[in-house]
Amino acid sequence: MLKIVVCVSGGGTNLQAIIDGVAQGSIVDTKIAKVISNNRGAYALERAGAAGIEAVCVSPKEYEDREAFNRAFMQEIEKTEPDLIVLAGFLVTLPAELIRKYANRIINIHPSLIPSFCGTGYYGLKVHEAALARGVKITGATVHFVDEGMDTGPIIMQKAVAVREDDTPQILQKRVMEEAEWLILPWCINLIAGGKVRVENGRVLLSE
Ligand code: GRF
């Protein structure tokens, strides 16, 4: 059984896709043991509660400094001892110590085809604003392992989405979620649960 902790900051639609995937059996042999948010008002916490999943808020605002937050965040993770940490729209930088300890056991969903429109400052709608400003015809989403860089870890899966001439950032964001994010993040978790993902020389190899 793959025990996962999902870290969220906002609406939680990617979390919901994981919850639904586990419930419907498209994600095998997986248990969402805990949902952690840095944002006490995140609707994602409501989604976790409605699904009967332990939902915890660890907010940097409630600690005197970043070190204290990092310690509290790590403790919250380690109490659960997950096999995999899933960042589903989590907007806080992880402690480097956690990334080292969970090497190739933390995954993130990013709403573009990395290496385009990623890295510092590229999150949420800003990603889609940049894609539209550049005039790309294809964008999409990427699931990757998390390393100590920003959106730089080994890529597990990507899915392309067409950009339309009348797209606004909001319309494009919704299409990328519907046609890419909500499909590839659950699918990657399913593959990891089935032992079908490995990293060799910084590249991900999938066995179907
Ligand atoms: C998604 O667009 C995801 O790609 C990005 O943050 C957003 C989170 O949305 N990392 P939600 O909270 O899953 O609805």
Q: What pTM does this model have?
A: 0.97
Q: Which residues contact 184 (CB under 8 A, 6 or more apart)?
A: 109, 141, 143, 157, 158, 159
Pocket test residue of 181, 184, 189 for ligand 1, highest count of atoms within 8 A of CB: 181
Question: What pLDDT sits at residue 56?
Answer: 98
Question: What pLDDT sits at residue 37?
Answer: 98
What is the 143 CA–ligand 1 centroid distance (Å)? 12
Question: What pLDDT sits at residue 85?
Answer: 98
State the closest ligand 1 atom to the C-alpha of 13, by its place in the atom list counted from 1: 14
Question: What pLDDT sits at residue 96?
Answer: 96
Q: Which residues contact 160 (CB under 8 A, 6 or more apart)?
A: 113, 138, 139, 140, 180
Which residue do the tokens 């990617």 mark? 14
Which residue do the tokens 């659950």 mark? 186
N residues, the chain: 208
State the closest ligand 1 atom to the C-alpha of 43, by its place in the atom list counted from 1: 12
Q: Token digits for 128?
A: 């889609």
Kindly give the parts of the chain with pLDDT less than 50. none
Question: What pLDDT sits at residue 167?
Answer: 98
Question: What pLDDT sits at residue 88?
Answer: 98
How is domain 2-197 classified at the architecture level of CATH? Answer: 3-Layer(aba) Sandwich (3.40)
Domain boundaries, the chain: 2-197
109-123 b/e with 16+ CB inside 10 Å = b? bbbbbbebbbeeebb
DSSP 88: S
Question: What pLDDT sits at residue 30?
Answer: 98
Q: Token digits for 91?
A: 């907007």
CA R_g for the chain: 16
CA–CA dist 61, 204 (Å, integer): 36
Question: What pLDDT sits at residue 98?
Answer: 97
CA–CA dist 119, 152 (Å, integer): 8
Coil, helix or strand at residue 162: strand
Question: What pLDDT sits at residue 159?
Answer: 98
Question: What pLDDT sits at residue 131?
Answer: 98
User: Which of 34, 47, 110, 175 is labelled catalytic?
Assistant: 110
State the closest ligand 1 atom to the C-alpha of 9, by its place in the atom list counted from 1: 12
